[in-house]
């Protein structure tokens, strides 16, 4: 009995303990998760609560890219002496155009057409036949020349130079009227203005999404002036005009091109005044400066200022003329690209200079323009500069002269992309 009682007591105690444990298990969840534990658990499965979100990483804006590239050509002084327009008359075959200048430009014609835009400094007036055709010192050329220049591919014609008053107001007015006529509507004329209001009406040209603004100035007009009563404006180099019009050009276009007649004749080194004015232009927003008048080549350079960088050629030399020195026969084409970037930046790039040689014979006639690399040696031997003025030169003399002045920018082969290439950032 005693043993049974002990067993019974033990059994009762065990049952009580078991029932107590069972109650504990029933009352307690399978596991308990605190807020921290929950966060850690979900983090293992890459689930983030609101307090875990972070700002997205900043991304770099896309790099600017090139939106447009426009090819530009500039030619220097086109000086039409009587022997040149007589050659043109002798080569004409049509009564409607009694002067035909195209044959003397045959070798360069297609090259000019290959550029998107082409500029020329037309040194001599085209005031009309009623003024009479004439040469140095007071020029008036046939208007057929203008038609031929247009057909060759020139788009921008400058007339601000020292001969623009050669026939007084009448000659200047006739020249402007011709270039601005409906017949010549494809041409952008710069350098000749009918009034002060017209002078500040900045000439622009839009091409391929880029607007070019043009300014034009000349150092003088050989001592000749328009009548005091004239409303026409000759754009003399004047600091206040340059500053005022540069600001207008900056608002009118994406890139400013300045045509400027300056320097010392027959001197291949820019003078102090050229350099001063070039810097003034660059400081006031000029992007490209196209110089002419010395009738010989002068160098190309980039002008750095706090306002930016300008590409400047101090003198293009002559394209066509019957002047007396062989150096006057070496001219050429200044070429560069106008680049537009996706961020709106527009700038000149890749400047080159392709030299030319102009031939006239010992009697002044049979004139013809060659690329310098193609200039025949036999022509050089019979050139009028040597026969008439004792100023002979071989093609190699001319090439050495062009190389000395134009240096790295010289490109003898007009079809090559390898010579003279330089970019500017």
Is residue 273 pLDDT above 90, yes or no?
yes
Q: Which residues lie below 8 Å from residue 140, measured CB to CB, with a gap of 6+?
A: 124, 125, 126, 127, 128, 131, 132, 133, 134, 166, 167, 171
- In this prediction, residue 37 has a pLDDT band, given cuts at 50, 70 and 90, of very low
* More confidently predicted of 48 and 264: 264
* More confidently predicted of 150 and 36: 150
Is residue 10 pLDDT above 70, yes or no?
no
Q: How far apart are CA 303 and CA 286, in angstroms?
A: 10
- In this prediction, residue 56 has a pLDDT band, given cuts at 50, 70 and 90, of low
Q: How far apart are CA 291 and CA 332, in angstroms?
A: 13
Residue 351, token pair as written in the block: 């400047």
Q: For residue range 369-411, list pLDDT tens digits in order.
A: 999 999 999 999 999 999 999 999 999 999 999 999 999 999 9
| pLDDT on residue 418 | 52
Is residue 174 pLDDT above 60, yes or no?
yes
DSSP assignment string, 319-375: EE---SSGGGGEEEEEEEEEEEETTS-EEEEEEEEEEEEEE--TTS-S-EEEEGGG-
| pLDDT on residue 12 | 43
Q: For residue range 333-375, list pLDDT tens digits in order.
A: 999 999 999 999 999 999 999 999 999 999 999 999 999 999 9
Q: Which long-range contacts (CB under 8 A, 24 or more apart) does 127-131 make?
A: 127/167, 127/170, 127/171, 127/172, 127/173, 127/174, 127/175, 127/178, 128/174, 128/178, 131/167, 131/170, 131/171, 131/174
- In this prediction, residue 52 has a pLDDT band, given cuts at 50, 70 and 90, of low
DSSP assignment string, 24-85: HHHHS-S----HHHHHHHHHHTT---GGG--PPPP-PPPPP-EEEEEEEEEEEEE---HHHH
| pLDDT on residue 96 | 82
Is residue 207 pLDDT above 90, yes or no?
yes
């Amino acid at each position: 009995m005693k043993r049974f009682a002990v067993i019974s007591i033990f059994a009762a105690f065990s049952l009580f303990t078991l029932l107590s444990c069972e109650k504990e298990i029933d009352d307690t969840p399978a596991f308990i998760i605190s807020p921290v534990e929950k966060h850690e658990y979900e983090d293992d499965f890459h689930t983030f609560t609101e307090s875990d979100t972070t700002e997205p990483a900043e991304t770099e804006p896309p790099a600017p890219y090139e939106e447009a590239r426009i090819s530009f050509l500039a030619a220097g002084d086109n000086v039409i002496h009587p022997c040149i327009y007589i050659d043109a008359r002798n080569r004409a075959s049509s009564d409607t155009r009694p002067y035909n200048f195209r044959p003397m430009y045959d070798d360069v014609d297609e090259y000019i057409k290959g550029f998107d835009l082409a500029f020329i400094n037309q040194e001599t007036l085209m005031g009309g036949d009623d003024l009479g055709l004439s040469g140095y010192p007071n020029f008036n050329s046939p208007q057929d020349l203008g038609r031929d220049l247009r057909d060759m591919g020139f788009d921008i014609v400058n007339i601000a130079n020292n001969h623009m008053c050669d026939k007084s107001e009448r000659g200047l007015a006739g020249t402007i009227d011709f270039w601005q006529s409906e017949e010549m509507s494809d041409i952008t004329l710069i350098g000749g203005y009918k009034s002060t209001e017209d002078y500040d009406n900045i000439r622009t040209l839009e091409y391929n999404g880029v607007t070019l603004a043009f300014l034009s100035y000349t150092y003088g007009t050989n001592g000749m002036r328009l009548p005091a009563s004239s409303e026409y404006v000759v754009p003399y180099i004047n600091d206040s005009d340059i500053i005022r019009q540069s600001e207008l050009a900056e608002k009118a276009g994406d890139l400013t091109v300045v045509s400027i007649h300056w320097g010392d004749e027959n001197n291949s080194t820019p003078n102090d005044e050229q350099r001063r004015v070039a810097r003034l232009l660059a400081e006031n927003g000029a992007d490209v400066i196209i110089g002419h008048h010395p009738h010989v080549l002068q160098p190309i350079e980039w002008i750095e200022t706090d306002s930016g960088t300008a590409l400047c050629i101090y003198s293009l030399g002559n394209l066509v003329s019957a002047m007396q020195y062989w150096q006057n026969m070496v001219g050429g084409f200044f070429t560069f690209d106008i680049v537009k970037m996706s961020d709106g930046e527009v700038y000149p790039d890749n400047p080159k200079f392709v030299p030319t040689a102009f031939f006239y014979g010992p009697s002044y006639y049979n004139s013809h323009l060659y690329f310098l690399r193609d200039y025949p040696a036999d022509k050089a031997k019979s050139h009028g500069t040597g026969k008439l003025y004792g100023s002979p030169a071989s093609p190699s003399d001319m090439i050495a002269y062009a190389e000395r002045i134009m240096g790295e920018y010289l490109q003898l082969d007009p079809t090559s992309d390898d010579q003279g290439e330089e970019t500017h950032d």
